[in-house]
Structure 1
Amino acid sequence: MNQFGISLYLGTGYEKNKEIIAKAREAKISYAFTSLHIPEESVNNYVQEAEKLLALCKSSSISLIVDIGPRTLEKLGYASFADLKQTSISHLRVDYGFTYQEIMDLSENFNIVFNASTLREQDIRELQRRNADFTRFSACHNFYPKPLTGLSLEKTRSMNDNLRRLGMTTMAFAAGDKELRGPLHMGLPTVETSRGTGVLFSMLQLIKDCHTDICLVGDIDISDEAWRGVKELSEGYVSLKAEIDPEYRFITDEIHHDRPDSSEYVIRSQESRAYASQGKLFPAQSVKPRGRGSISVGNEGYLRYSGELEIARRDLEPEPKVNIVGQIDEGSMQYLDYITDGMGFRLIQK
């Protein structure tokens, strides 16, 4: 099951971070990324503000993934990294300035997160030589504030596949859609083509196209619609807006799941196979075009498959054995190719 996270910045301020964390908990998000050595993070009373943020995350059961550097302890006023174990920090992202032995020592108390873009083959070989437990390691991609500098889907997937083969957890960022972080305010995605495409779609791409385990929002805050989408995705389903014929609107009453053996042509609802056994009748209707996004229910001509709900992923030939009962809204069409392998979906009447 994929997991999800937000990003928190000291410069955002305690009250705003408190508001964001409350929305994150409502969305069943359990991770947050933050950096304790961003150059432009200018905050009065740095130590006090950092302690307040750590305490807020701990009281909210948010596990912090912290980007650290050699001077992090000095800035926070801690004597050792072991002292951080009592805080909400569960993951340390070590980018530079740490020896292999220091990383091994830190891994006894924390999950170690490497920079996925800068982890070298020689680093991996050296950690293997030291019998490192790679299941205790993660790799987090950068986010890219400057347009045209992000990674491609293909490169992100290739890197993630190599890391996962080692047993590591992969992390990447989706851009926000509401309050974008400065100084550029142009989104903080890992994948360049997802800049501005919407939070839910970006996360689906990270999960399905890039094989990412933990998807994080890089920016400060997201829209209410995006929060709902992330909450639903954390529960394993995606909502699809649609126009549905009145007599078939009973199909909106539940969460459906695509079959684990996904078809390239249609999304097939596992739950709908029970409709006929529940006594529902599906007499054949006039044959209609079966374009991409059309919602159909198998009629009596399909015998034991009568009642099965399908959504066309692509334009298909007209089929006398199905009744076309609705159409996915244009804004939801982009999600159809990502509802695969048992993922859930809910139809919402516009």
Structure 2
Amino acid sequence: MVQLGFSLYPEGHDQESLWNYIQQFPREMFSRVFLSFLQLNPSDQALLHHYQQIVAICREAGFEVVGDLSPQLLTGLGWEADILGQARAFGLTGVRLDEAYSASRIKELLDQEREMTLELNMSVDSKLVTDLLALGVSPERLTACHNFYPKAYTGLSKSHFHFMNQVYRTMGLATAAFVSAASAQQGAWAYDEGLPTLEEHRQLALADQLRYLLAAGDVDTIILSNQFISKEELQIMIEVFETNKEEIELEWESDLVLTPLEEAILAYPHHYRPDISDYLIRSTMPRLVYGQKDHPVRIQEKKAKRGDILLANQNYGRYAGELSLALCDLELDERTNIIGRLSPYSIELLDFLKPNDAFRLRRKEGISEPT
């Protein structure tokens, strides 16, 4: 089951304000807190104490807390000899190593402290996890998390992102990645260009970032990377997660005046037939429910493009009422109507739909029925 997480950057904020912020995240959806230590000065004891208090607050609220640490910071803190033991004493439930030690050193750390998990940076390499498993480290002691990228044009490509996800999941590790919210302006560094894992997500609405990762299905935890998301955007995040964790939601629009029957078929809960076609994703059930209704022929150019929403009309006999999504450009005849089109970003999600998957079609917000 996919879970959500969120990030905290406690410096400059008192315990009460952070506690109030933490309380907004429902425990049944959000399981962990990401806490970056990379920007900290290890000699600032007052700030470190503040961090430790915030960790305690998060643990009291029922969240796991993973601290992002670097070898340089660990040296400055004096934790090098017993990294995981010191982190557990600090209150953390896991440690993410932004820059990794050798496989043999990590195995020593895990053998020293058996109650902690160690999280690897999965954006850069897979050799380390291969070496760790070869040394006998159980994948249950390890997790993996991508980076987020504050600087524009430095985020991961989709091909690399999905390749690394597949590598780590094949080895039995839980995976995580970051999304960022437009209303949340604070991160570890003084940049305001978003904090996504995928570069293509940098300017994308949070809802669409979530829909993409949930549809792709190769990340176990999706973490909000920046701080102080608005209540309104958090509610959108929660609603999108609730809707998309079990089925893929595709956004559509239409410049037609749709009939009540067409609207009903679009709103119907759809199911991808298990017999795969290169040309269509077929949803058969609407024809069984609405096939006996009147499905008039639409007089229109019958040239469909990938992402068009097709509806078999009354001239198609037993297929009348069947809804399909075009997977490529198609030449149609008068037996099929084109009643709408997926939004550009939803078209990308077609690649993630698999036979037997449930999916829903949702009208694009701000698009009203033409009159």
Q: TM-score, normalised by structure 1?
A: 0.77
- Work out whether 1:229 is the aligned partner of 2:240: yes
Residue of structure 1 equivalent to 2:114: 108
Pair 235,164 (structure 1): closer, same or farther in 2 beyond 3 Å: closer
Alignment of 1:287-306 (within 5 A): 287-288=299-300, 289=302, 290-306=304-320
- Cα distance in 1 for partners of 2:134, 2:199 equals 35
Aligned position for 2:97: 94
The CA distance in 2 between the partners of 1:129 and 1:102, in whole Å, is 14
2:147 to 142, 146, 171: 142
For 1:273 and 1:113, locate their aligned partners in 2 and report how far apart those are by CA, in whole Å. 49
Give distance in 2, aligned partners of 1:56 and 1:291.
49
**Higher alpha-carbon deviation: 239-248 or 178-187:** 239-248
For 2:281 and 2:315, locate their aligned partners in 1 and report how far apart those are by CA, in whole Å: 20
Amino acid of the residue matched to residue 325 of structure 2?
Answer: I
Structure 1 CA distance, aligned partners of 2:348 and 2:161? 19
Letter paired with 1:6: F
Partner of 2:298: 286
Match of 2:259 in 1: 246
The secondary structure found in structure 2 opposite 1:240 is strand
Is the contact between residue 153 and residue 209 of structure 1 (CA under 8 Å) also seen in structure 2?
no
Contact map agreement 2:211 2:248 (CA 8 A) in 1: no
1:4 corresponds to 2:4: yes
Contact 1:10/1:50 (8 A) holds in 2: no
Structure 1 alignment gaps of length 5 or more: none
User: What is the rounded CA distance, in whole Å, between the counterparts of 1:40 and 1:188 in structure 2?
Assistant: 22
CA–CA distance in structure 2, aligned partners of residues 309 and 116 of structure 1: 40
Cα distance in 2 for partners of 1:230, 1:346 equals: 15
Q: In structure 2, what is the equivalent of residue 50 of structure 1?
A: 52
Instruction: Mark the runs of 5 or more structure 2 residues left unpaired by the alignment.
Output: none
How far apart in 1 are the matches of 2:36 and 2:164? 23
AA at the equivalent of 1:246: T
Structure 1 residues 311, 93: CA separation in 2 closer, same or farther (over 3 Å shift)?
same
Q: Which residue of 1 aligns with 2:162?
A: 157
Q: Which residue of 1 aligns with 2:35?
A: 34
CA contact (8 A) 1:82 1:109 kept: no
| 8 Å contact kept, 1:156–1:210 | no
Please give the per-residue CA displacement for 1:243-299, whole angstroms capped at 9, x wherever unaligned. Answer: 4613222235554344456655444336425414xx741444134334454433323
Choose which of 328, 331, 345 in structure 2 pairs with 1:334.
Answer: 345
Q: Which amino acid in 1 is paired with 2:361? A: R
Q: Which amino acid letter does the alignment assign opposite residue 360 of structure 2?
A: F
Q: Is the 8 A contact 2:120 2:144 kept in 1?
A: yes
Identity %: 24
Task: Report the alpha carbon displacement of residue 107 of structure 1 after superposing the two structures with TM.
Answer: 6.9
Q: Is the 1:111–1:138 Cα contact (8 Å) retained in structure 2?
A: yes
- Across the aligned residues of Structure 1 and Structure 2, the Cα RMSD in angstroms comes to 3.9
Q: Relative to structure 2, which stretch is displaced further, 138-147 or 244-253?
A: 244-253
Q: Secondary structure at the match of 2:330?
A: coil
Stretch moving more, 198-207 or 302-311: 198-207
